[in-house]
Amino acid sequence: MGWNRKVLRVNLSAGTCTPEPLNMAWANDYLGSRGLASKYLVEEIDPKVDPLSPDNKMIMATGPLTGTMASTGGRYTVVTKGALTNAIACSNSGGFFGAEMKFAGWDMIIFEGKSPQPVYLYLENDKAELRDASHLWGKTCWETEETIKRQHQDPLIRVSSIGGAGENQVMFACIVNDLHRAAGRSGVGAVMGSKNLKAVAIRGTKGVSGIKDFPAFLAATTAAKKVLADNAVTGQGLPKYGTQVLMNVINEMGALPTRNHRDVQFEEAGKISAEAMHEKRPSDGKAHLVTNAACFGCTIACGRISKIDETHFSVKNSPKYWGASGGLEYEAAWALGAANGVGDLEALQYANLLCNEHGMDPISFGATVGAAMEMYETGILSKEQIGLDAPFGSAEALCQLVEMTAHGEGFGKELGLGSARLCAKYGHPELSMSVKGQEFPAYDSRGIQGMGLAYATSNRGACHLRGYTVASEVLGIPVKTDPLTTDGKPELVKAFQDATGIFDSAGICVFTSFAWTLADVQPQLQAACEGDWSMDKLNLVGERIWNMERQFNLAAGLSAKDDDLPPRLKSEPAKTGPAKGLVNGLDKMKPEYYKVRGWDSAGVPEKATLQRLGL
């Protein structure tokens, strides 16, 4: 078995921690992590619940491969109804926290209710206690982690926590573990803050036992690691350049959203690229990048550890930011950089550090700043309203706004609403580059057509990690498709969406899918888990998870009209690059996608589809 078969139910209102057996029938149908936790959520909450009310629940979950010797098997997910999106949310994080939960003997922790005062959960193997966190409230994620480790006199404790953003219910607050890994999207940190839950601290010493067929598991994981090592992306590109390897590639193909998606190419992309991270700075002769880093059990090691130029205006009076720390990754570098027209690498690293420190999703934060900068440039927002000059390209404005948002000061409070609520408040909802209230990541769907459909139909709002057709449309994985046409994209998007459900639910990192297909994951799951985990079963489970999430969203009040893109992407053609003159062809792809999914024209799963999937 790849599961510990144990769930901890934490009732924050009553202050109780109660173990219960994992529902193994559901594990057989939904695998683990994203799929299984979503099944619990769907069964236990009213889909119409206010995400920030005590009636919402928040689930932290591992998958059957989490904590094992499978490469990248350190992932955990946070499943809830998203504060940013009002849709089902599942945010996934690496680092070491997920493996520690498994080592302590738990598959899943379900948080319900709301604590009358700030608390943190302390979990040491079977011992589970809610402890007073009044001394932690107001502290950053970094201070919280350090304080808990010191207090328990145990540096090996793994901590997930919220910072000021989660406490103040910034709508894109995230949950940070291991200092710079995060369950980043959809506002899961705001939900945690609404429950007065400051942190979860885990120490597990049990290891992982009970792999069904250990010799077969050893053979399968070893073979799969070789596939990663032999692949140019996972064996060379990601370890050396990190995810930022994409910056120049995506810019050249005219799909790098720039200045709130006004443009599709950024003239300063080279200055914030992976290559620039390796170059020596004129100021101190040192490269920005210090080393790469890996999450638990990962043989790819795409993580970046960097050091800011100590003389940069953002940190010259703040020595606490002079040490090496996490970042930049591609998405953060894009959202804080190209999305705002800022080409100052040091400023981006500083803004990223503050996002990690205070627990904010840098994608949504950066994209929301981009929307505010456009409103400033077009006169919708004045200097007096924002409190500073905020034109596109201003690194100074970016750095000030990240502080203001993190601390909930002045206009920072409004940025904390996210771009959809902010732009609606000022009468221009069309300027929010988002789907279901969640801001786009770093691919412009005029230059990569399939991503428009993937964004529009993503169950958790705009997201690249729910159907990464970039792999096929840009990198040719597993087969090359033309990024500029809509042909075949409905089938492609569905295939990526369903397969991703399995990667997420297994407890491994979706970046393995640059090299692995489901056929590489299948032998690992079959050897680890009891029961049938054939390819047919995996394909069925992936599709079942997608449709279950869809059903939740429909019951929450979302509909086909929420499967849409901002008008800019459908009516303002790309101005430069290979996609020049093109808009996204969502309106052509969407009806076909619904058909491929077995949904009716209103995007509702047909009865026969639900029956086939056992829903």
> Is the Cβ of residue 238 or residue 347 nearer to ligand SF4 in the bound state?
238
- 3-class secondary structure, 479: coil
Is residue 72 within the footprint of ligand SF4 (CB under 6 A)?
yes
Q: Which residues contact 169 (CB under 8 A, 6 or more apart)?
A: 52, 83, 190, 193, 194, 416
- Of 94 and 418, the one with the shorter C-beta distance to ligand SF4 is 94
Q: How far is the CB of 303 from ligand SF4 (least distance, A)?
A: 4
Rounded Cα distance between 283 and 285, Å, is 6
Q: Cβ distance 289 to 277 under 8 Å?
A: yes
Q: Which residue, 71 or 260, has its beta carbon nearer to ligand SF4?
A: 71
What backbone phi and psi angles, to 5 degrees, belong to 229?
-65, -35
- DSSP one-letter code for 23: -
Cβ 8 to ligand SF4 shortest distance, Å:
25
CB of 98 to ligand SF4, least distance (A): 10
The reply on whether position 295 binds ligand SF4 by CB under 6 A is yes
Q: Which is nearer to ligand SF4, 295 or 518 (CB)?
A: 295
Return the structure tokens found at 285.
């002769």
Pairing mode, if any, of strands 303-306 and 289-293?
Answer: antiparallel
- Quote the least distance from Cβ 239 to ligand SF4, whole Å: 9
Nearer residue to ligand SF4 within complex by CB, 94 or 362:
94
**Range in contact with ligand SF4 (rule: CB under 6 A) among 158-166, 184-192, 297-305, 535-543:** 297-305
Does the footprint of ligand SF4 cover residue 94 (CB under 6 A)? yes
Nearest alpha-carbon partner for 163 in 143, 148, 149: 143
**Dist. CA 49–CA 6, nearest whole Å:** 27
Structure tokens, 43? 């069964």
Burial of 172 (0-12, 13-18, 19+ CB in 10 A): buried
Q: How far is the CB of 297 from ligand SF4 (least distance, A)?
A: 8
Shortest separation between residue 490's beta carbon and ligand SF4, angstroms: 28
Does 303 help bind ligand SF4 (rule: CB under 6 A)?
Answer: yes
Q: Which stretch binds ligand SF4 (CB under 6 A): 164-172, 188-196, 290-298, 555-563?
A: 290-298
434 vs 512, which CB is nearer to ligand SF4?
A: 512
Q: Which is nearer to ligand SF4, 301 or 475 (CB)?
A: 301
> Of the ranges 39-47, 270-278, 291-299, 575-583, which one interacts with ligand SF4 (CB under 6 A)?
291-299
Which residue, 98 or 490, is less far from ligand SF4 as judged by CB?
A: 98
Binding-site member from 219, 301, 596, 604 for ligand SF4 (CB under 6 A) = 301
Q: How far apart are CA 337 and CA 345, in angstroms?
A: 8
Say if residues 374 and 389 touch (Cβ distance below 8 Å): no
Q: Per rule CB under 6 A, is residue 45 in the interface with ligand SF4?
A: no
Q: Residue from 294, 305, 388, 615 that binds ligand SF4 (CB under 6 A)?
A: 294
User: How far is Cα 88 from Cα 211, in angstroms, rounded to an integer?
Assistant: 31
Q: Decide if residue 300 touches ligand SF4 (CB under 6 A).
A: yes
Q: Judged by CB, which is closer to ligand SF4: 243, or 364?
A: 243
Stretch that binds ligand SF4, among 51-59, 168-176, 293-301, 344-352 (CB under 6 A): 293-301
- Position among 191, 302, 420, 506 found at the interface with ligand SF4 (CB under 6 A): 302
Q: Interface residues for ligand SF4 in 482-511 (CB under 6 A)?
A: 509, 511
> Which C-beta is closer to ligand SF4: that of 264 or that of 518?
518
Nearer to ligand SF4, 56 or 72 (CB): 72
Helix/strand/coil for 113: coil
Spatial separation of the C-alpha atoms in residues 182 and 180, rounded to whole Å: 6
Helices (H), 339-418: 345-358, 362-377, 383-386, 395-407, 412-415
Is residue 82 a contact residue for ligand SF4 (CB under 6 A)?
no
- Of 58, 87, 101, 298, the one binding ligand SF4 (CB under 6 A) is 298
Tokens of 193: 């803050």
Residues 6+ apart with CB under 8 A from 369: 336, 339, 340, 390, 397, 398, 401, 402, 415
Token look-up 């011992």 returns: 127
Residues contacting 276, CB < 8 A, separation 6+: 270, 288, 345
- CB 495, min distance to ligand SF4, A: 21
Q: Interface with ligand SF4 by CB under 6 A: which residues?
A: 72, 94, 294-295, 298, 300-303, 509, 511
